[in-house]
Structure 1
Amino acid sequence: MTASPKEPGRRLAAVPDLDPAPNPHATQAEVEAALKDTKLAQVLYHDWEAETYDDKWHISYDERCIDYARGRFDAVAGEQPLPYERALELGCGTGFFLLNLMQGGVAKTGSVTDLSPGMVKVALRNAESLALPVDGRVADAETIPYEDNTFDLVVGHAVLHHIPDVEQALREVLRVLKPGGRFVFAGEPTTIGDFYARWLGRITWETTTRITRLSAFADWRRPQAELDESSRAAALEAVVDLHTFDPTDLEKIATAAGAVEVHAHTEEFSAALLGWPLRTIEYAVPAEKLGWNWARFGLTSWKTLTWVDEKVLRHVVPRGFFYNALITGVKPS
């Protein structure tokens, strides 16, 4: 469900109890309809994912993810006077980026918006458990339900590639920012990175599910119902992932929207080449079979390869080959 269209400067009343309820159990008819309606697909897919999303992506709200979120912010925005007074997260998901940035001293208060009611519900629940001053709305990124010059900072993680009109969304971001306010978006797939990540994921999925059909590895196979549900979600994922980005083109989009001081940064090359197969195996194999040693291996290898990417490969590999794109810009004063 989208927010109602509005004229610039017109405020939409924030009435949380009028927001739609989450729908985590879409019918087959709804799924089929979503295949032709990208915004319905966004809602169904992310409502389906909301309650398990943090576990799926190993998201936490402790030092590990605080450091990760703050590292992404600093990597693209550089040193900034902190904290910002009020921040907005666009396409908040479970609140991962904003809540960890707030804990890391980047912002004092926050607002979260997402097209998915389920994601907003979980993000607000996470904020409450962390005692963070955050409000939230179900909203379309192309028509943000806040008045002009409201926020000092707008952030998002893995959201721009879900938005049909990215330039329009960035215009809205600049509208709700105060003059001199900054936006920071991270976790966006590059065109080349997305290509090799998807192929690695497909090959790993096929290999793992074939091996676990063998009787010797039968207890390493997730129940068929869970595998079928993952395949169903993957069908919607193909609909909700609308864009990949060349970092230079992403800078051009932000500039065309009206931003200044625009800069794109990329990260994860060797880390992505290992990370995507590891994540895919986690979807196909019961968690109890992998255990703590697997999790420790995944984290240690990611940190090691990230260091290699930053200290070595960044100097020899073109930035478009890295998997993640980050973008920042400022509203003109």
Structure 2
Amino acid sequence: MGDDTPGDTPEETPRPAATEAEVEAAWHDTDLAQVLYHDWESGTYDDKWSISFDERCIDFASARFATTLGPAAAAAPKPFGRALEIGAGTGFFSLNLRQAGWLEEVVVTDVSAGMVDVALEHARRLGFPDGEGGVSGQVAGITELPFDDASFDLVLGHAVLHHVPDVEAGLRECLRVLRPGGRFLFAGEPTVVGDRYARALGRATWAVTTRVTHLPPFRERWARSKEELDESSRAAALEAVVDLHTFHPGDLARTALRAGAVDVTTATEELLAAFLGWPVRTFEAAVNPERLGWGWAMFAYRGWQRLGRVDRVLSKVLPQGVFYDVGVTGTRP
């Protein structure tokens, strides 16, 4: 296991923010929007989502992976031999799963070269060997994977399917590169209902926080600059373009079956935890980050963690569709 802490991340070259003209062009070109947004976000993505490669995120990634595996977890090989991550971002899911012992060899892919660069830098800092048997990366999208048929034991992703224009075609391509009996697993996708309350909570928190922090008693210590808020607004505009789908769990399972998968199951997480998590994330984006520290991060995480335990109990009695996150897994015949 690596010993990175949340504040111990590689120095990243800042990438220029998208201009208004670029954002306008991206509204009409989904592929451009995906690359532009994720290249732009690559230098700040870890801070935005409190990503780290320490025990906190290792436990989180491992628990989410096991929850999505569901009944298959007991029979799943550990580690999976050769794993391909789709939309890997900065490597949060696969690199933490490798540290937890779930994965052996990892290939990270993303449509953003910036994201792949950061993920590979994280892998080097964690001491993983490059290439075969370790961690490697390529720029690639889910519907055109540059890999041979039947070349992976596992294809996985976290919070990526909602960015994919044709989810069924993407899952069919994942099945192509899986060996017979190989498994795909995608976690952290927004449900239809969950997305509605998450966005409502985010908008309300943003409005209240930005107004309060610009009042005279708080402005100097708590407010972000107008330039930073404008940049966040441009990011939010692009985010609306790249977030293409929300899912009903049953519909997502049927999509996987149409793609050719078997043994398909879904699992959902976060209800009460989402009602805390989304206001917390929005608050962090709206205030001067110097006012928040490790104590705040642990307060937010521990609160989310406690509510997550309650959610696991509620998941036994409430329908899947009311939860925020849905994951899906299945195998290649």
Q: State TM-score, norm by structure 1.
A: 0.91
How many residue pairs align between the two structures?
Answer: 311
Match of 1:259 among 258, 261, 266: 261
Maintained 8 Å contact 2:191/2:248: yes
Deviations 1:125-157 (A, max 9, x none): 111111221111111211111110010001100
CA shift at 1:293, angstroms? 2.9
Find the residue that maps to 1:187 and give its secondary structure.
Answer: strand
Residue 108 of structure 1 aligns with an amino acid whose one-letter code is: E
Q: d(CA) in 1 for partners of 2:18 and 2:281?
A: 25
User: Is 1:31 aligned to residue 28 of structure 2?
Assistant: no
Partner of 1:81: 77
How far 1:119 moved relative to its partner?
0.5
Spell out structure 1 runs of 4+ moving beyond 6 A. none
Please name the residue that 1:60 is paired with.
52
Structure 1 equivalent of residue 213 of structure 2: 212
Distance apart, 1:23 and its partner CA: 6.1
Distance 1:317 1:203 in 2: 26
The alpha carbon displacement at 1:291 in A equals 2.7
* Cα pair 1:23 1:44 within 8 Å, conserved: no
Q: Which residue type is aligned with residue 100 of structure 1?
A: N
Percent pairwise identity: 61
Which residue does 1:147 correspond to in 2? 148
Distance 1:105 1:208 in 2: 41
1:281 aligns with 2:273: no
| 1:51 and 2:51 correspond | no
Q: Is the 8 A contact 1:192 1:323 kept in 2?
A: yes
Name the CA shift for 1:106/1:292 in 2 (closer, same or farther; >3 Å): closer
Distance in 2 of aligned mates of 1:305 and 1:135? 36
Q: Say whether the 8 Å CA contact 2:83–2:107 is kept in structure 1.
A: yes
Output the amino acid matched with 1:283. Answer: A
Alpha-carbon displacement from aligned partner over 1:283-313 (angstroms, at most 9, x marks no partner): 01112212333222101111110011112x2
Structure 1 gaps, min length 5:
1-21
1:274 shift after superposition? 1.0
Helix, strand or coil for the counterpart of 2:304? Answer: helix
1:231 alignment partner, one of 214, 227, 233: 233
Q: Letter of the aligned partner of 1:214 in structure 2?
A: L
| 1:167 is aligned to 2:189 | no
Instruction: Give distance in 1, aligned partners of 2:110 and 2:151.
Output: 18
* 1:40 match: 32
Is the contact made by 2:18 and 2:234 (CA closer than 8 Å) also made in structure 1? no
Q: Is the 8 A contact 2:154 2:178 kept in 1?
A: yes
Contact 1:24/1:49 (8 A) holds in 2: no
- Which residue pairs with 2:316 in the alignment? 315
Once the two structures are TM-superposed, the CA of residue 206 in structure 1 deviates from its matched residue by 0.5
Amino acid at match of 2:104: K
Structure 1 partner of 2:293: 291
CA drift of 1:103 comes to 1.0
CA distance in 2, matches of 1:172, 1:225: 41
Q: Does 1:93 align with 2:89?
A: yes
1:29 and 1:292 map into 2 onto residues whose CA distance is 37
Partner of 2:191: 190
C-alpha separation in 1, matches of 2:257 and 2:148: 22
Cα RMSD, aligned residues only: 1.4
Distance (Å, rounded) in 2 between the aligned partners of 1:23 and 1:55: 15
How much does 1:95 deviate? 0.8
Partner of 2:5: none
Runs of 5+ in structure 2 lacking a partner? 1-13, 129-133
Pick closer, same or farther for the CA change 1:267–1:95 going to 2, 3 Å. same
Q: Distance in 2 between matches of 1:24 and 1:71?
A: 35
What does residue 136 of structure 2 align with? Answer: 135
Matches of 1:24 and 1:149 in 2, distance apart?
A: 39
C-alpha distance in 1 between matches for 2:52 and 2:297: 14
Give the Cα–Cα distance (whole angstroms) in 1 for the partners of residues 316 and 328 of structure 2.
Answer: 20
Task: State the secondary structure of the residue aligned to 2:292.
Answer: helix
Q: Distance in 2 between the 1:109 and 1:316 partners?
A: 38
Pairing 1:271–2:273 present: yes
TM-score between the two structures when normalised by the length of structure 2: 0.91
For residues 184 and 316 of structure 1, the distance between their equivalents in structure 2, rounded to whole angstroms, comes to 24
- The 3-state SS of whatever aligns with 1:92 is coil
Measure how far apart 1:217 and its partner are: 1.2
Equivalent-residue separation in structure 1 for 2:210 and 2:147 (angstroms):
46
- Match in the other structure for 2:115: 119
